[in-house]
């Protein structure tokens, strides 16, 4: 890839981090960013929903609205946020040769709105693939954690639950099972890490899987 004034720009790398609420995604995103920056890479760390100004408004609606939101409306809101986010923030960063670390992406919609809300997961995926013009991550990290342990973590944090965190354990069980099913179907894209491990061990396993992509990026 060639940038301004004919300068060579190394390919960007798109890394997504998935998992249930309380799995530790934000912690691992921060640790990964720190490691990549120390190695000399330019990093954009972002999230869905909420990675853009538009996304922050969507996030407030889907996670904190007091009124009822139907499952299909919820899925469409996430897709709208995703379309804006990828077009205005993620693709430009990748075109500049940067590493994008993103907390949640299409797999979350398939798991939460598909399995969690009992919609058609294939339809949910097609909607988001259309919204993002088929942008696929180079690596997806799934931090897998038993939903009961995840709930204990959330309770201990003493935070106000959002609409999805407040769902019953059965909802979160379906979400977890969906994530694992997606990862099993696409082992070349996923690294699945036990969320019960220490943050340092989880981070080490993520770095081990990511290192070959940094040497010879897929994009």
pLDDT tens digits along 93-139: 999 999 999 999 999 999 999 999 999 999 999 999 999 999 999 99
pLDDT recorded at residue 4: 42
**Cα distance from N-terminal residue to C-terminal residue, the chain:** 10
Nearby residues of 89 by Cβ (< 8 Å), 6 or more positions away: 44, 46, 51, 52
pLDDT recorded at residue 100: 98
> CA-based angle 54:26:126, to the nearest 5?
55
Quickly name the fold that domain 8-212 has.
Rossmann fold (3.40.50)
For residue 51, say whether it is annotated as part of any ligand binding site: no
> Checking DSSP bridges between strand 190-194 and strand 43-47, what pairing results, if any?
unpaired
How far is it, in rounded angstroms, from Cα 81 to Cα 11? 25
pLDDT tens digits along 65-105: 888 999 999 999 999 999 999 999 999 999 999 999 999 99
pLDDT tens digits along 53-63: 999 999 999 99
The answer on pLDDT for 1 being more than 90 is no
For residue 19, say whether it is annotated as part of any ligand binding site: yes
Task: Tell me what the mean pLDDT of segment 36-40 comes to.
Answer: 96
Output the average pLDDT for the chain: 92
Task: Tell me what the mean pLDDT of segment 148-157 comes to.
Answer: 88
How far is it, in rounded angstroms, from Cα 201 to Cα 28? 10
Residue with tokens 């010879």: 216
136 Rama sector, left if φ>0, alpha if ψ -120 to 50, beta otherwise: beta
82 three-class SS: helix
For residue 89, say whether it is annotated as part of any ligand binding site: no
Q: b or e along 46-59 (b: 16 or more beta carbons within 10 Å of the residue's beta carbon)?
A: bbbbbbbebbeebb
The answer on pLDDT for 218 being more than 90 is no
For residue 168, say whether it is annotated as part of any ligand binding site: no
For residue 22, say whether it is annotated as part of any ligand binding site: yes
For residue 26, say whether it is annotated as part of any ligand binding site: yes
**Confidence (pTM):** 0.91
């Amino acid at each position: 890839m060639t940038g301004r004034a004919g300068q060579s720009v190394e390919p960007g790398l798109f890394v997504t981090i998935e998992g249930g609420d309380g799995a530790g995604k934000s912690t691992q995103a921060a640790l990964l960013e720190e490691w990549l920056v120390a190695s000399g890479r330019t990093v954009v760390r972002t999230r869905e929903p909420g990675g853009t100004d538009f996304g922050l408004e969507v996030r407030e609606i889907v996670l904190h609205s007091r009124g009822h939101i139907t499952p299909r409306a919820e899925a469409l809101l996430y897709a709208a946020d995703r379309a804006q986010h990828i077009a205005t923030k993620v693709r430009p960063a990748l075109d500049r040769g940067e590493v994008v670390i993103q907390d949640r992406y299409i797999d979350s919609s398939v798991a939460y709105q598909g399995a969690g809300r009992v919609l058609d997961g294939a339809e949910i995926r097609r909607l988001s693939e259309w919204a993002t013009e088929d942008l696929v991550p180079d690596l997806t990290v799934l931090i897998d954690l038993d939903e009961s342990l995840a709930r204990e973590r959330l309770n201990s944090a003493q935070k106000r639950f959002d609409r999805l965190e407040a769902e019953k354990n059965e909802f979160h069980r379906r979400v977890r099972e969906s994530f694992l099913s997606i990862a099993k179907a696409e082992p070349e894209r996923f690294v699945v890490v036990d969320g019960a491990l220490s943050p340092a061990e989880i981070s080490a396993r993520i770095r081990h899987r990511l290192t070959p992509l940094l040497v010879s990026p897929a994009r």
